[in-house]
């Protein structure tokens, strides 16, 4: 079996990490993987793939990329195409529709919003070349289903993580040292792109309320993105510059995440929320909003605490509750640490391989 994975993102976010994990683990399962991605993209640099093809990034309708896909499939006798983002899906669809590529296509869908109702999207999702649509959560499957004529094409495979990347025996105080905080400072943080759908203004609003009740708590937004300037202005406006810090993009998340006492996710849309799985594995207590597929992993009162989207008041109360109730906090983190064993990238790869075999008729 030869699978061509297509990713069109130049940066590095959750979807690219999941694609890289999948490629690595599939190769351990004797699947020959090839990767097609933008030249000098982060996934080109980070993914462990023996054969990588590149292209120059253009707009969403990249006809030269569609032609390149067909040529790669023919030259390398590709069994399946697996696309990992919307533009990759579009290019694979055009390769079949306009260039006559016969290679079956599997798409991964991670986004927490419905498929557009326009004619092109309808064609793109229902073309005969599309054999399976892998959704990262049941919530995403439910959102996607109305646009799909053949519902049997929909499957759910949750994202997975590398639980072993966190060294919980030797937690370093890098954040505390870097930002001149005492070792007993309480830290509440979020690891994500600083983007609109993460609703980090609600994080800041919750931080303001927590700070009023517990001035000793410090807050971290770990990541980079287009909302940074506006978020920093909001922090300044609320006079929180001495208690809420921006770290920028970090390559040492596996080292600094376990430092947090509480992970506060305020997203208003979220496919699944794999950073929450990372928090579980790092034994960090979680408070999160009930967005997208989050409730499939953050089980209220068992693996974390859940609040309505945008409810800074309740989110702040839940954070304070965990700070004050160490027994509850420890119980949630212990439950979450065990729960995350079902969400390894190895499990994700095995379930994905079963879908590949189903499409190719190899299950028997």
What is the SS3 assignment for 46?
helix
Tokens of 103: 């290679």
> Which pLDDT does position 183 carry in this prediction?
85
67, pLDDT greater than 90: yes
**Using one digit for the tens of pLDDT, what is the confidence trace for 301-346?**
999 999 999 999 999 999 999 999 999 999 999 999 999 999 999 9
Percent of the chain with pLDDT over 70: 99
How far is residue 34's CA from residue 266's CA, in Å, rounded to a whole number? Answer: 36
Q: What is the pTM of this model?
A: 0.85
Buried b / exposed e over 82-94, threshold 16 CB at 10 Å, is bbbbbbbbbbbbb
How far is residue 119's CA from residue 126's CA, in Å, rounded to a whole number? Answer: 11
pLDDT confidence of 184, banded at 50, 70, 90? confident
Taken in order of first residue, the domains within the chain and their CATH numbers are 2-160+344-360 (3.40.50.2000), 163-342 (3.40.50.2000)
Q: At 150, give phi and psi (nearest 5°).
A: -100, 95
16, pLDDT greater than 70: yes
How far is residue 38's CA from residue 57's CA, in Å, rounded to a whole number? Answer: 6
Q: Of 183, 260, 195, nearest to 231 (Cα)?
A: 195
How far is residue 336's CA from residue 327's CA, in Å, rounded to a whole number? Answer: 14
> Which pLDDT does position 343 carry in this prediction?
93
Q: Of 217, 226, 270, nearest to 245 (Cα)?
A: 217
* Contact criterion met (CB below 8 Å) for 181 and 175: yes
Q: H helices within 49-199, ranges in order?
A: 63-76, 86-97, 119-126, 138-144, 174-178
How far is residue 108's CA from residue 134's CA, in Å, rounded to a whole number? Answer: 5
**Using one digit for the tens of pLDDT, what is the confidence trace for 122-147?**
999 999 999 999 999 999 999 999 99
Of 45-54, 66-75, 160-169, the range with the lowest mean pLDDT is: 160-169
Give the residue-averaged pLDDT of 15-26.
Answer: 95
């Amino acid at each position: 079996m030869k699978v061509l994975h297509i990713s069109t993102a130049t940066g590095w976010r959750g979807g690219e990490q999941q694609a890289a994990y999948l490629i690595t683990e599939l190769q351990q399962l004797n699947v020959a993987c090839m990767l097609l991605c933008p030249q000098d993209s982060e996934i080109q640099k980070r993914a462990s793939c023996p054969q990588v093809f590149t292209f120059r990034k253009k707009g969403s309708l990249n006809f030269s990329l569609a032609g390149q896909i067909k040529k790669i499939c023919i030259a390398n006798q590709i069994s399946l195409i697996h696309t990992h983002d919307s533009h990759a899906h579009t290019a694979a669809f055009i390769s079949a529709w306009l260039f006559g590529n016969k290679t079956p296509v599997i798409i991964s869908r991670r986004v927490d919003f419905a498929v557009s109702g326009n004619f092109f999207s309808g064609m793109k999702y229902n073309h005969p070349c599309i054999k399976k649509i892998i959704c990262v959560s049941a919530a995403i499957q439910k959102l996607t289903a109305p646009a799909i004529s053949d519902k049997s094409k929909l499957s759910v495979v949750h994202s997975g993580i590398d639980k072993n990347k966190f060294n919980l025996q030797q937690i370093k105080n890098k954040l505390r040292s870097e930002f001149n905080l005492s070792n007993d400072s309480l830290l509440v943080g979020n690891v994500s792109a600083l983007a609109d759908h993460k609703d980090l203004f609600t994080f800041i609003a919750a931080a303001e309320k927590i700070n009023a009740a517990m001035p000793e708590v410090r807050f971290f937004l770990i990541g980079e993105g287009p909302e940074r300037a506006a978020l920093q202005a909001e922090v300044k406006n609320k006079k929180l510059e001495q208690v809420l810090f921006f770290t920028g993009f970090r390559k040492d998340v596996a080292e600094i995440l376990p430092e947090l006492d509480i992970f506060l996710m305020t997203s208003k849309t979220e496919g699944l929320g794999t950073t929450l799985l990372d928090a579980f594995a790092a034994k960090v207590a979680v408070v999160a909003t009930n967005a997208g597929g989050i409730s499939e992993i953050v089980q209220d009162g068992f693996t974390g605490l859940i609040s309505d989207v945008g409810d800074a008041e309740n989110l702040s109360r839940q954070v304070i509750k965990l700070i004050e109730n160490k027994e509850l906090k420890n119980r949630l983190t212990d439950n979450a640490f065990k729960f995350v064993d079902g969400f390894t990238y190895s499990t994700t790869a095995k379930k994905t391989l079963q879908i590949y075999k189903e499409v190719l008729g190899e299950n028997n």
